Amino acid sequence: MDVHLADSGTHEDEVEGNGFVELHPTRDDLGTRLDRFVADQLPDLSRGTVQRLIESGCVRVDNQQRKPKFRMTPGEVVSVEIPPPGIDEILPDPIPLSVVYETADVIVVDKPAGMVVHPAPGHPRGTLANALVAHVPGISVGGSQRPGIVHRLDKDTSGLIVAAKTDRGRASLITQWESRSVEKIYLALVSGSVADEEAIIDAPVGRDPKNRQRMAVVRSGRPAVTRFRVLERFPNATLLEVSIETGRTHQIRVHLAFIGHPVVGDQLYGRVRQTDPHVERQFLHASALAFQLPDGERLRLESPLPDELRAALEELRVRSTTFSRIE
């Protein structure tokens, strides 16, 4: 089963930090307001933020400044200058980190579930960024003490995440993310029995028009490709190894829910089923990460499943053995 749904055009892959993104409206976007179009294509930016960017000249249509209510026409080129996140100073927090690998330029951390990656207005402390600033007091990226976090993991997703400590490290990582040469492997336990041993889900992801708190597969979304293969089967669940070619917000969770097999424990895109094992959060773990260091050396790192996820698998294995005996 390979799932394909036509996307809305060519877009840049999502990369953290400030920079330029080029968007291309298609016929599906004809007549859509500029602010709505940009907000749908860049779901990490709220509608209000997009409107402020438009008013300040950071959004241009065919290199001309337009109003938020400007209506889109296919063939136009919308360029967006994305500013850095809104917290100017990241305060150091001496939070213990599980450092997997570290050089002068980059650091790889095994992030626990429950930790947010970036501070946000009203929540300036307790994040991975705060912990990195404390761990590397001399960190300097882009002339500030910000760590160069070029990708993200959801709060309740555990596993490997890499950050730059220097401009050299950040430039190298961004180049690799944009060229899609980084290998990102996840382990996901999903509800139900997945029919195929392996498959590709190629379906654009954007803001859910019915619920702005969620993402969804929508034709106006940004291209997203997820691959998976089955590692282990249980009577009412399947353990998958998942790799992603793109890095859209909630991509894996959205794609797996889209094919009818939401991640176990995912309260946003799934639902608790009586047959699911007991787990306090979504069963999604970034288990392997491979990329090139600035000096050209290829690096591949792995992270074992956290205890609570291993316990959930053991629960399923015990159930499976009991189920087989009954049959």
**265 within some domain:** yes
Judge whether 298 lies within some domain. Answer: yes
Catalytic option among 110, 154, 156, 266: 154
CATH of the domain at 104: 3.30.2350.10
pLDDT of residue 48 exceeding 70 = yes
Predicted confidence at residue 13, as pLDDT, reads 41
Identify the pLDDT of residue 194.
Answer: 97
| 204, 221 contact by CB (below 8 A) | yes
pLDDT at site 43: 76
Least confident of 24-33, 61-70, 81-90, 179-188: 81-90
Q: Please confirm, yes or no, whether 2 is among the known catalytic residues.
A: no
Amino acid 31: pLDDT: 95
Domain boundary among 33, 51, 82: 82
Instruction: Reply yes or no on whether the pLDDT at 123 is more than 90.
Output: no
* Tens digits of residue pLDDT in 128-158: 999 999 999 888 887 777 888 989 899 999 9
The per-residue pLDDT of the chain, averaged, comes to 88
Give the count of beta carbons closer than 10 Å to the beta carbon of residue 10: 11
For residue 9, the model assigns a pLDDT of 42
**Is the CB of residue 267 less than 8 Å from the CB of residue 235?**
no
**What confidence score (pLDDT) does residue 277 get?**
86
Please, are residues 53 and 65 in contact by the beta-carbon 8 Å criterion? no
Count up the domains in the chain and report the number.
3
42 in the same domain as 59: yes
Q: Specify whether 322 is located in the same domain as 201.
A: yes
Instruction: Give the structural domain span for 158.
Output: 99-179+288-304
> Is residue 280 within 8 Å of residue 267, measured between CB atoms?
no
What global pTM score does this model have? 0.79
pLDDT band, very low/low/confident/very high, at 83 (cuts 50, 70, 90): low
Give a yes or no: residue 2 inside a domain: no
Domain boundary among 29, 48, 82: 82
On whether both 140 and 202 belong to a single domain, the answer is no
Check whether residue 163 and residue 294 sit in a common domain.
yes
Residues 164 and 198 grouped into a single domain: no
Q: Which residue has the tokens 């602010």?
A: 35
State residue 88's pLDDT score: 58
> 170 and 299 in one domain?
yes
- The kind and range of the H/E element at 130 are helix 128-135
3-class state of residue 256 by DSSP: helix
Buried b (16+ CB within 10 A) or exposed e, 168-195: bbbbbbbebbeeeebebbbbbbbbbebe
Domain CATH code at residue 51:
3.10.290.10
DSSP string computed for 234-254: ETTEEEEEEEESS--TTHHHH
Instruction: State residue 81's pLDDT score.
Output: 82
Q: Which of 286, 278, 277 is nearest to 305 (CA)?
A: 286
Quick one: what percent of the chain has pLDDT higher than 90?
A: 61
